């Protein structure tokens, strides 16, 4: 009888271990800055249901849009502290992993084909390795992004129009340096504070791809999208290293498999949706302005080279060669 009791007890422990702990469901929190209609959110919802399905309900991912779990930097800190689990992030990770700055070096990438060749190649791997090592986060899948454009209340056609222009940038030191060099007064702010900042006149504008201009409702407070197209980039969906390591092998495989499928879903959504957004923004009163991109390149590229460390510069020069 004692022997069978021991066997039963061990079997019970075994099943507890499988559900990752005391038998309860593993509940992960994913925080990001876009709204519920955005490609990132819709893809994350698909990812969450794939993970739940592939782990027979053992892992549930709760998604918090509009920075409702906290700003991007705060969410990264929360994941490292274990109070959040996943985040959508990119160049902001340079505050931990310097190589992540290369996600958004102005005028480094020619177009999205160039971006994809870098992300999928050895440079992308080196960036991901350093993010994992230094930020304690593991990239699961990524989204390619439309180019970043400058939005404003008056047209801005060249750096000369930037004097006295106060603008928001994300927590990306490289952006502070390059926009300062271009003649603007940049300041760091979380994305969810941008609308109010512009409405209250704290800032005159910001820069983002059209999908986030739309997601943040910025067409209500900005009249112009100035086609600086200063950054072509991508952004990762990342999980905390410790959160991933706490899973058993089957659960970890299920998460990685779901991430591969989510990657494709995100790519399809991007192809379907991104073209429409420019029209939707003009329908909402925004005007797209062609700018002297060469003039922006001339002031920003030297600022990038000055701002980057040797390690970052090496990667920057290799990116230009791809």
Binding to ligand 2Q2 by residue 226, rule CB under 6 A? no
**Which one of 19, 20, 31, 33 is in contact with ligand 2Q2 (CB under 6 A)?**
33
Q: Which stretch binds ligand 2Q2 (CB under 6 A): 83-91, 254-262, 272-280, 288-296?
A: 83-91
**Which one of 75, 78, 149, 208 is in contact with ligand 2Q2 (CB under 6 A)?**
208
Shortest separation between residue 240's beta carbon and ligand 2Q2, angstroms: 16
Phi/psi of residue 233, nearest 5 degrees:
-155, -170
Between 20 and 139, CB nearer to ligand 2Q2: 139
The C-alpha atoms of residue 78 and residue 161 are separated, in whole angstroms, by 39
Between 40 and 59, CB nearer to ligand 2Q2: 40
Chain positions 151 to 190 lying near ligand 2Q2, rule: CB under 6 A, are 170, 172
**Which one of 31, 65, 70, 90 is in contact with ligand 2Q2 (CB under 6 A)?**
90
Between 19 and 208, CB nearer to ligand 2Q2: 208
Binding to ligand 2Q2 by residue 212, rule CB under 6 A? yes
Binding to ligand 2Q2 by residue 72, rule CB under 6 A? yes
Question: Alpha-carbon Rg of the chain, whole angstroms?
Answer: 22
Binding to ligand 2Q2 by residue 213, rule CB under 6 A? no
Pair type for strands 137-144 and 234-240 = antiparallel
Binding to ligand 2Q2 by residue 191, rule CB under 6 A? yes
Pair type for strands 287-289 and 224-231 = parallel
Q: Which stretch binds ligand 2Q2 (CB under 6 A): 20-28, 37-45, 89-97, 306-314?
A: 89-97
Angle, vertex CA 160, rays to CA 154 and CA 164, nearest 5: 65
Q: How many residues bind ligand 2Q2, per CB under 6 A?
A: 12
Shortest separation between residue 56's beta carbon and ligand 2Q2, angstroms: 33
Q: Which stretch binds ligand 2Q2 (CB under 6 A): 10-18, 84-92, 109-117, 260-268?
A: 84-92
CB 164 within 8 A of CB 185: yes
Chain positions 249 to 268 lying near ligand 2Q2, rule: CB under 6 A, are none
Between 50 and 191, CB nearer to ligand 2Q2: 191
Binding to ligand 2Q2 by residue 91, rule CB under 6 A? yes
Between 89 and 158, CB nearer to ligand 2Q2: 89
DSSP string covering 3-43, please? HHHHHHHHHHHHHHHHTTSSSSPEEEEEE-SS-TTSHHHHH
DSSP string covering 37-90, please? TSHHHHHHHHHHHHHHHHTTTSEEEEEE-TTTT--HHHHHHHHHHTS--EEEES
- The DSSP bridge partners found for residue 62 are 29
Binding to ligand 2Q2 by residue 92, rule CB under 6 A? yes
Pair type for strands 205-208 and 234-240 = unpaired
Binding to ligand 2Q2 by residue 89, rule CB under 6 A? yes
The C-alpha atoms of residue 254 and residue 121 are separated, in whole angstroms, by 24
Binding to ligand 2Q2 by residue 130, rule CB under 6 A? no
Interacting residues of 109 by C-beta distance below 8 A, sequence separation 6+: 115, 118, 231, 232, 233, 319
- The DSSP bridge partners found for residue 144 are 234
Shortest separation between residue 12's beta carbon and ligand 2Q2, angstroms: 44
Residue 138 DSSP one-character state: E
Contacting residues toward ligand 2Q2, per CB under 6 A: 33, 72, 89-92, 170, 172, 191, 208, 212, 235
């Amino acid at each position: 009888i004692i022997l069978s009791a021991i066997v039963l007890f061990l079997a019970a422990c075994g099943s507890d271990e499988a559900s990752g702990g005391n038998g309860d469901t593993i509940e992960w929190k994913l925080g990001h800055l876009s709204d519920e209609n955005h490609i990132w959110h819709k893809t994350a919802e698909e990812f969450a249901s794939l993970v739940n399905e592939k782990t027979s309900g053992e892992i549930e991912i709760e998604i918090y849009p509009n920075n409702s779990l906290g700003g991007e930097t705060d969410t990264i800190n929360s994941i490292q502290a274990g109070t959040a689990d996943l985040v959508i992030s990119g160049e902001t990770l340079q505050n931990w992993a310097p190589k992540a700055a290369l996600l958004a070096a102005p005028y480094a990438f020619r177009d999205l084909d160039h971006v994809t060749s870098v992300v999928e190649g050895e440079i992308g791997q080196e960036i991901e390795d350093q993010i994992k090592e230094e930020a304690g986060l593991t990239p699961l899948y990524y989204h390619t992004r439309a180019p970043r454009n400058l939005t404003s209340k008056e047209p801005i056609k060249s750096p000369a129009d930037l004097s006295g222009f106060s603008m928001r940038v994300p927590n990306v030191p490289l952006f502070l340096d390059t926009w300062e060099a271009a003649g603007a007064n940049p300041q760091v702010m979380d994305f969810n504070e941008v609308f109010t900042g512009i409405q209250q006149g704290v800032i005159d504008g910001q820069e983002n791809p059209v999908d986030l201009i739309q997601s943040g409702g910025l067409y209500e407070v900005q009249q112009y999208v100035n086609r600086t197209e200063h950054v072509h980039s991508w952004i990762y969906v990342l999980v905390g290293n410790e959160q991933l390591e706490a899973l058993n092998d089957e659960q970890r495989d299920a998460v990685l498999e779901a991430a591969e499928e989510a990657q494709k879903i995100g790519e399809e959504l991007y192809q379907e949706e991104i073209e429409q957004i420019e029209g939707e923004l003009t329908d909402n009163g925004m005007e797209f302005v062609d700018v002297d991109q060469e003039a922006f390149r001339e002031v920003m590229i030297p600022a990038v080279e000055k701002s980057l460390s040797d390690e970052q510069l090496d990667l920057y020069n290799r990116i230009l060669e791809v």
